[in-house]
Chains A and B, each alone.
Chain A
Amino acid sequence: MSLTSLPVTAGGRRTPSPRRRVPGEPRSVAYLYILPAVLIYAAFVFFPFIHSIYLSFFEGNGITRMEFVGIDNYVDIVRNPILRSAFVHALELIVFYSFLPIAIGLLLASVLHRSRIRGVAFYRTALFLPYVIAPTAIAVIWRWILAPRGPLNSFLEAIGLGALAQPWLGDFTWALPSVGMVGTWIMFGLVLALLLAGVQKIPTELYEAARLDGAGPWMEFRAVTLPGLRYEIVVALVLTVTAALRNFDIIYVMTSGGPGNATVVPSYLVYQQAFKVSQIGAAAAMGTALIVVIIAANLLISRAGRSD
């Protein structure tokens, strides 16, 4: 599910004002308000999650009796080169989904901080569009662009770089970076819009003061832009890193993990193990390992955002 798109940050929220209860109502009324949401959440998200952790210690196909195997499924993730490579690929995708868009966004935002742009709504709509449309459709569109005789290769030939033309998604070296570039395309507009909104709020006096102190463009960036955008960078990291780690739809449609296992990622392996080869325990362990990585990454990001 595409709930990757959340502006979540662990800290920094205001604590609520002291509350009282409504005169004449028992405190337990509150439970009636939260009950429907909490029940559905518990039944269809939280308990399945706990159940999944439980299943990850077993081996079997989910129909016949499951056999308890302790932490074997987790040991496999570390030992088996294909399972391990899924996490390595996910980390490589972070470079494309997260670092590259943020680097581009920071560069452009620091150039743009002085201009007052009209028609921001139009630009925002355009920049957000790749993030809003279905990843399955994005994957179909980019499979065309990257096809052996598709627009990218035609373009390279037209500008005399025909030697660089590749069967991008069929090549062991290029398949993962190609999928990654699609992630860069999805994320860079979102990140740019986020950082632009942030840079507009940095008081111009700070830039003037920096200039009076004789700061060059690099010092100005280090001393004013970067600290001023700390919060936006944290939000961008949370959104993009989580999306990179979860990436299922695009891999499923564009490469199915191939060629060979060159583009397998954790979420794709969960699906494959559970629904193609019926290894329920192994799939559950993969899913649990994935959530641990996602939560760890988010904690790391929000900690880094607070300390420096």
Chain B
Amino acid sequence: MISRRDTILGYVILSIAALISLGPLIGVAILALGQPGRVGVKLDVTKATNFGNFAEVWEKGDFGPAIRTSLIITVIVVVVSVALSIPAGYAFAQMNFPGRTAIFALLVLGILMPLESMIVPLYLDMRRFNLDNEYWSVILPQIGFSVAFGAFWMRAFFVQSARSLMEAAWIDGANSWRTLTKVLLPLARPQMLTLAVLFFVWNWNDFLLPLVMLSGSDLQTAPMALVTFEGARRTDFAYLGAASLITIAPVVIVFILLQRSFTRGILAGSIKE
């Protein structure tokens, strides 16, 4: 019952929608590859061959160190958060212990909590322990927020993992840790990958926390470097375009390579009823 007309209409609508999504990004790429100019740059695809803006911005905006800082922070946060989310999700799904429901509810509340609601005491405490302006002042809170979602996400997987598999492992004399690492984790790879992609994207893009915590130091993340650069050259749009693209490049690469994992994470709500 699917007519050709409907299908063509579908492609037309989706293509227009995709073009609206990509348009500003394509525009900014053409801008960044064009001649550096101050205001009111005219876009010209045929002249978009100038990689000099990127080199210029990389130097002047200190993007090298900023990307490095962002990578260090984000990779640590992703690895640690995934590693902590797994056992937590496993215990909440498959073990029975006093306080399980209450602790889980408090943890999941963290998914809704905006950083804005605790940034003030977080900063005061970090300063008191002289942790502000250090990597840890960004890494530790990011892990805290990430495991709230991570435990929730991994629990949803472990709740569904086959009871018979686990019982077979126990009969073979495996304890709960061996059951987790040898039997269940190999099956959980897709879920772990999704979690890692989501953590990477969220924490790379995070701006307020590093802005507050690292403002007194030379350390800056990629989004901070972008905003600093933007503050210094408000109308140098070709440079600003190049700086934006440098900032988003790692996330765009990860996203395109692993888009299945990411979409699964975001669409999970709708797939899993």
Contacts and interface: CB of A to CB of B under 8 A. Distances in A.
Contact of A185 (B20, B88, B112, B146): B20
B248 A21 contact: no
Interface stretch (A76-84, A138-146, A219-227): A138-146
B46 interface: no
Given A9-B269, A52-B118, A145 B27 contact: yes
Contacts of A206: none
A108 B220 CA distance: 42
A133 B122 contact: no
A189 B17 contact: yes
Interface stretch (B1-9, B47-55, B185-193): B1-9
B147 to A, nearest CB: 4
Nearest to B265: A7
Q: Which of A19, A30, A235, A271 counts the most chain B CB atoms within 10 A?
A: A30
Q: Which of B21, B145, B176 counts the most chain A CB atoms within 10 A?
A: B21
Interface in B126-164: 140-152, 156, 159, 163
B271 to A, nearest CB: 7
Interface residues of A, number: 117
Contact of B94 (A6, A19, A28, A194): A19
Interface in A125-162: 125-137, 140-145, 147, 149-151, 154
A40 B84 contact: yes
Given A108-B13, A116-B7, A128-B255, A44 B122 contact: yes
Interface in A59-103: 62
Contact of A235 (B111, B237, B270): B270
B96 A19 contact: yes
Contacts of A283: 120
A194 B113 contact: no
Contacts of B96: 19-21, 27, 30
A144 B237 contact: yes
A140 B27 contact: no
A37 interface: yes
B120 A287 contact: yes
Interface in B220-269: 222-223, 226-227, 230, 235, 237, 240-241, 243-245, 247-248, 251-252, 255-256, 259-260, 262-263, 265-269
A40 B140 contact: yes
B207 A136 contact: yes
Question: Chain B binding site: helix, strand, loop or mixed by DSSP?
Answer: helix
A38 interface: yes
A218 B262 CA distance: 34
B116 A248 contact: yes
Given A29-B95, A135-B207, A144-B31, A37 B150 contact: yes
B144 A294 contact: no
A33 B91 contact: yes
A288 B28 CA distance: 38
B262 A128 contact: yes
B208 A248 contact: yes
Contact of B206 (A2, A122, A137, A150): A2
A136 B263 contact: no
Contacts of B179: 22
B36 interface: no
A132 B119 contact: no
Interface string A235-274: 1000000100110110011000000000000110011001
A48 B142 CA distance: 13
Nearest to B166: A22
Given A13-B156, A21-B96, A140-B230, A40 B240 contact: no
A52 B121 contact: yes
A242 B116 CA distance: 13
Given A3-B111, A132-B251, A280 B205 contact: no
5 contacts: A27-B98, A28-B97, A126-B18, A197-B270, A284-B120
Given A1-B115, A252-B227, A270-B120, 15 more contacts: A7-B265, A21-B95, A28-B97, A46-B106, A62-B124, A108-B13, A121-B260, A140-B240, A144-B240, A147-B237, A192-B17, A252-B207, A270-B117, A274-B120, A290-B117
Interface of B: 1-3, 6-7, 9-11, 13-14, 17-18, 20-22, 24-25, 27-28, 31, 39-40, 43, 84-85, 87-88, 90-98, 100, 103, 106-125, 140-152, 156, 159, 163, 170, 175-176, 179, 198, 201-209, 212, 215, 222-223, 226-227, 230, 235, 237, 240-241, 243-245, 247-248, 251-252, 255-256, 259-260, 262-263, 265-271, 273
